[in-house]
Amino acid sequence: MSEPAGGGAKGTLGRLTAVRHGESAANVVFGRAVAAEDSELIVGGSDAQVPLSPRGMREAEALGRRLADGSPEGRPDLVVCSPYLRARQTWDAMAAVARESGHTLPAFTVDERLRDREMGVLELLPPPALRARAPEEAARRKRLGEWFYRPPGGESLADVTLRVRDFLTELRSGGAEEHVLLVAHDSVVVAVRHVLAGIGDPVPDDVPVPNASVSWWEDLGPGGAPARLVEFASVSHLSHLTGTGGDREPGALG
């Protein structure tokens, strides 16, 4: 896996692209657990170390082909990744495909503020397992909704948005390149959309962000003025892949 680089030179942020990682091994397990209503099917290990599934690798390569086949302005000057393994694997696969086509791409930078939503004691528990092991917590989650629900030791989506807002404020203050690409998670993409919509944007309901989807914005000047959303959660580059990717369980699948 390639090593992260330092930050880029100062410039004006004109375009921001946010990519959700490809399907992960946890996405596969969550999907199976939900389909079978199997409370015993869980994911082991640490969320930060969950890798891409074989399909996720193919999705990441498809992202790389989109990057290689697009216009030069669609290629980033700076790439910032979540520290989680599945996000870094996604960028590595994207970059490898694009470089095979002769394109020069920057090394990536890792920023902790782009990590997935922390689920605390519920980390990597599929919904059936959560309902079986902590029914009161499952009921509280349903009652409060994902935006405000904070699991014990974890974060709400509102908490994620606070750290993403801090990250975007830094980008928009003049310390970034012309085009920045983020490779992260569904919770981060939703937070980016909410922040870039500007002051007064209503709290999002469930906003589906498929695996390996692409969202991008233009006209990101300094300050808090709304950016222009050009495309959100596009998966047109995945049309050649058979089957579907991991379904999104808000805040749980990454």
Which residues are bridge partners to 110 per DSSP? 81
Nearest Cα to Cα of residue 116 among 176, 22, 188 = 188
For residue 172, what pLDDT band results from cuts at 50, 70 and 90? confident
The fraction of the chain above a pLDDT of 90, given in percent, is: 72
Q: State the average pLDDT over residues 161-186.
A: 88
Return the residue matching tokens 């030791």: 153
Q: What is the pLDDT of residues 206-244, one digit of tens each?
A: 889 999 999 999 988 776 678 999 999 999 999 988 664
Mean pLDDT, the chain, rounded, equals 89
Terminal-residue alpha carbon distance, the chain = 20
Q: Which of 3-7, 123-127, 200-204, 248-252 has the least mean pLDDT?
A: 248-252
Question: Above 70 in pLDDT, residue 175?
Answer: no
In angstroms, the CA 46 to CA 50 distance is 7
pLDDT at 177: 65
- Helix, strand or coil, per DSSP, at residue 137: helix
DSSP conformational letter for 176: B
Is residue 11 within 8 A of residue 103, CB to CB? The reply is: no
In angstroms, the CA 241 to CA 54 distance is 12
Q: What is the pLDDT of residues 9-24, one digit of tens each?
A: 445 688 999 999 999 9
Nearest Cα to Cα of residue 183 among 247, 117, 89 = 89
- Helix, strand or coil, per DSSP, at residue 106: coil
Domains annotated for the chain, with CATH where assigned, are 15-238 (3.40.50.1240)
In angstroms, the CA 159 to CA 115 distance is 12
In angstroms, the CA 179 to CA 131 distance is 43
| Torsion angle (degrees, nearest 10) of CA 221, 204, 158, 233 | -60
